[in-house]
Amino acid sequence: MTPPGGTISIAGKTVSRLGFGTMRLAGRDSWGMPANRVEPMTVLLEAIRVYGITHIDTADAYGPHTVETLIRDCLPSSRFDLELLIATKVGMVRPGPNMWAPLGRPAYLRAAVEGSLRRLGVDQLDLCYLHRNDPSVPFLDQVGALAELRSEGKIAHIGLSKVGPAEIDRATEVIPVAAVQNKLSLEVQDDLGTVEHCRALGIPYVAYSPLGTGTLAKNGGAGKALRWLLDLGPHVAPMPGTSNTGHLRELVDSLTAD
């Protein structure tokens, strides 16, 4: 099966360039469990089995702690017979609905990775991002904490989220940066410099919120928005998300339509 948008190499795996972001699989405002666990699990399975989307992105902050569990319950067998990349993120806490705060103390990052391993039901995280740089903790201390976990075999590859070229360059002094995940869309284009920096360094760039606030998907605009990202370079991978099978079908069809 040829996935929509083609393929890309991330964290040692060849996966679909069109990824699937799982934040919306949690309850309202990405808080708690969804009212019906079957619906989000159906969307995730359809993305993988029907459309060949093999780049799955999550975070311990989604729920918090609920979406990783949904993924484990949904993919007990699928993960072994497909070249899936399940990326997660640590370093963000959720004091309440619509509340997000970075927490990058090394001891916390270690505990967060251990929690993600348990919830996902794996011995090693394929790709673990530092979800945000905590300004109260030296940046390289945060990166170093993940590097230690990588040396222990608990993380296979390390990524960075919401960073610019300067932070990427500092991190590469300590670790190989497997991917950078930042916000980018036709609606928000202020990160094009980072896109080019990643191109120069050979680092995959994962664009989250590729359809903006959802306005870009209206009136059949999803295809234009996603193709704009794909045309920025073969190292760019859009990461849309949805909790609705109909919306998922529209996203995929928008890329395969003439």
Query: Active-site positions?
Result: 62
Angle at 199 between CA 194 and CA 201, to 5 degrees: 95
Question: What element of type H or E holds 56?
Answer: strand 55-57
Q: Which residues contact 13 (CB under 8 A, 6 or more apart)?
A: 54, 83, 84, 85, 126
Torsion of CA 88, 203, 101, 105, to 10 degrees: 80
219 DSSP assignment: G
* Structure tokens given for 159: 């990524």
C-alpha 145/C-alpha 136 separation (Å) is: 15
96 DSSP assignment: S
Secondary-structure breakdown of the chain: helix, strand, coil percentages, each rounded to the nearest 5: 40, 20, 40
Question: 16 with 47: CB under 8 angstroms?
Answer: no
Question: 83 with 13: CB under 8 angstroms?
Answer: yes
C-alpha 243/C-alpha 30 separation (Å) is: 11
Torsion of CA 147, 191, 215, 228, to 10 degrees: -100
125 DSSP assignment: B
The SS3 of residue 247 is helix
